[in-house]
Amino acid sequence: MRGGLWQLGQSITRRLANGDKKAVARRCFATEADLKKTVLYDFHVANGGKMVPFAGWSMPIQYKDSIMDSTLNCRQNGSLFDVSHMCGLSLKGKDAVTFLEKLVIADVAALAPGTGTLTVFTNEKGGAIDDSVITKVTDDHIYLVVNAGCRDKDLAHIEEHMKAFKAKGGDVSWHIHDERSLIALQGPLAAPVLQHLTKDDLSKLYFGEFRVLDINGSQCFLTRTGYTGEDGFEISVPSENGVDLAKALLEKSEGKIRLTGLGARDSLRLEAGLCLYGNDLEQHITPIEAGLTWAIGKRRRAEGGFLGADVILKQLGDGPLIRRVGFISSGPPPRSHSEIQDEGGNNIGEVTSGGFSPCLKKNIAMGYVKSGLHKAGTKVKIIIRGKPNEGVVTKMPFVPTKYYKPS
């Protein structure tokens, strides 16, 4: 699925329009019996979801509307995403913060209870094992969500280090929240619609903040965050209440918030300049190279103490050799692995994500180029099917973010 969610969605749309359902079945449903299904699977199918394999799960790439329309509706009204394939877990114990800080770049200790941040799990070489949103629920309880495609390696990595930590007397334990489902509600109508289903005042919950509260009659973990650049929430709900919650949210929106699939989710996050692990972040890419220096806490920059800190702190001082940047280009939309050249035809990097922006009506992409050629306005050539296309390095996000922050 690497780099191809948007393109796959377009291909499915064309083939279904042409009546080529057998080809779609061969391409996407051959291993359906082997795939895991979220609690919302039947709900997706009943609502016209086109299901595809993704990270071992059967997930909706889109519904009855096009990816283009779905993307625009999220920005204008709102979207409901099933992200239950992602893995939520809790770390508990008086040493939970100390333990986690050995594995991630964030200053977890400095987080106030009920707040969170994006962080990166690093390896010994400073590369990214995964990116994750972590929340300090209390001083001895951390809640985090890791990517579906990284679940097995992430959990093995955490478990290996936890055993060593506990063997030295550290007090930490974990719980993987497989009993819960995860729903993302995004867009300008997210807050007013969700407010109908809870007595808590959502106007006092800001971007990056977390609460445990009653939503639609069940105890949920609510984080004001998302993967679209819009205001919104991720709601961890007991799985037995997942379908009812999804139905209630759609009903309260009076049809304005729509079920939305992975295809639009990919174009939304690209417009917001957000990384997709496996494309824009990899085991060999450091947070500095990825433009995530801001996620390294000030104390962590001084003290280190996380895996690969020597490599990362050296890059912090000397500067990285490559940098993640955005592009706007002409011609066909850039694809993952498209070569990037300077105006003289010399290779300077590679596209990691690209597509047509439904909101901007132009091609956008992100990728890595040599330092010195990363500044906004730098002209480049992006090679697609052997032909060079004009491009220019552009600041991200491509579409302004609308996170709900204190004024």
Q: Which residue has the tokens 């400073």?
A: 126
What is the three-class DSSP state of 278? coil
Q: Which residues contact 275 (CB under 8 A, 6 or more apart)?
A: 131, 281, 290, 292, 324, 366
How far, CA to CA in Å, does 339 sit from each of 52, 307, 324, 367, 385? 28, 31, 14, 10, 10
User: H-type helices in 47-189, by residue range?
Assistant: 67-76, 96-100, 151-167
Q: How far apart are CA 366 and CA 370, in angstroms?
A: 13
Strand partners, 57: 36, 54
Strand partners, 340: 349, 382
Smallest CA-to-CA distance from 162 within 154, 170, 153 is with 170
Smallest CA-to-CA distance from 315 within 340, 351, 285, 276 is with 285
Q: How far apart are CA 315 and CA 334, in angstroms?
A: 29
Q: What angle do CA 279, 333, 71 make, to 5 degrees?
A: 75
* Helices and strands counted in the chain (H then E): 11, 19
What is the three-class DSSP state of 299? helix
Q: How far apart are CA 297 and CA 144, in angstroms?
A: 18
Does 343 belong to an annotated binding site?
no
122 contacts 205 by C-beta, under 8 angstroms: no
Please provide residue 3's backbone torsions phi and psi, each rounded to the nearest 5 degrees.
Answer: 70, 5
51 contacts 58 by C-beta, under 8 angstroms: yes
How far, CA to CA in Å, does 81 sit from each of 59, 117, 134, 365, 397? 10, 21, 20, 23, 21
Positions at the binding site for substrate: 234
Positions at the binding site: 234
